[in-house]
Every structure is written in structure tokens, then in C-alpha cells.
Amino acid sequence: MKIKYSLSIILFLLTITIPGKGQTPGNFKLKSATDKSQFVLSKSNGKFVALHFLLKTECPNCLRHTRQYFSKAETLPNVIQVFIKPDDETEIKKWAEKLPADALKKFPIYRDPDAKLAARFKIPNGYLFHNQLVHYPAMILIGPNGKEVFRHTGKNNTDRYSFEQLAVKVRELTKK
């Protein structure tokens, strides 16, 4: 049991410390749970895309994180912000009621049924949250060319990539 646990910790640490090494799963489509929109990666028109993989179930830190990004997103017009939850549509709608309605119109919450997209991006699973095993919180940045250029996988529910960190990372990648 200890060896198995230690190996999973090592694998997890490798995924959070090697930015941009994840595999982009090609084009994908997500349906919104908060409106009738869809997000299709291939239609991002040469912009950066920040994929925010939020935790399942009721999560105050996910709400705080999402609100912070909502309030500042317009300062990064070359980045499409995509918020993703693995819950069912009803649970997402209930959770999203706590977000500003006007911001939800600009930034719908998309559904990742059974966290299949998170698995395709190889976001580690196995985080115990509200008595459920879920994937770790993560932010993956896709470049204008459609390939992953950076990722941050949190060690726990409070370990999130701040908007300010994203702004610095985008400026850094834009200069290259």
C-alpha cells in the first residue's frame, strides 16, 4: 500500500512541476450547463484558451476562483476563459446560481461528463473531496496554435493559479 501511494505522489508531482508537457487531446467540444452555448477548441480563432478544471460538487474555493477570473477576464482579451465542472447539469446550475448572472452570460460553465476531458488531459485523479474521489483542480493554457503551452495542477482545493499569474504567463508567452 505504501509503495503504491508513494508512486502516485511522485507521478502527481511530475505533472504539476513540468509546465507545458501535457498532451493536448486535439479538438474537443463542451456543452454549457448554464446556457445553450458550446465551446469548440478549433473555433478559438488564434487566441489563448485557459481551461479551468473545477472540482466536483459544492466548492467555495471554485466559486471564489471563478468570480476572480470573471471580474478580471476582460483585461486579457487575447485569452478565452473556459470554466469546466464534471457535475451533472442540475448540480452545475445550482452551483452557478451563486455567481453573478451578467458574468455567466459572458462566461458560461461547461460540463465535462464523468471528467472525461480531464482524463484526456491527464489531470491526476484521486483527490478526496467531500467524500468523493475527484481530479485535482487544474488550469491548462492552450496556445494560439491549439497546443498546450502551460499547466498548473493544484495540490489541493486551495492551490489555484491566480489571474495575476495567468496574466504574467500570457505576457511571457506572447513575447516569445
Residue-wise pLDDT tens digits, 13-32: 444 433 444 456 689 999 99
23 vs 59, 83, 140, CA distance in Å? 27, 19, 10
Nearest to 52 by CA among 106, 123, 104: 123
Nearest to 141 by CA among 73, 56, 81, 68: 81
Per-residue pLDDT tens over the stretch 142-157: 999 899 999 999 888 7
pTM for the predicted model, two decimal places: 0.84
What is the reported pLDDT for 2? 47
3-state class percentages of the chain: helix first, strand second, coil last, to nearest 5: 40, 25, 35
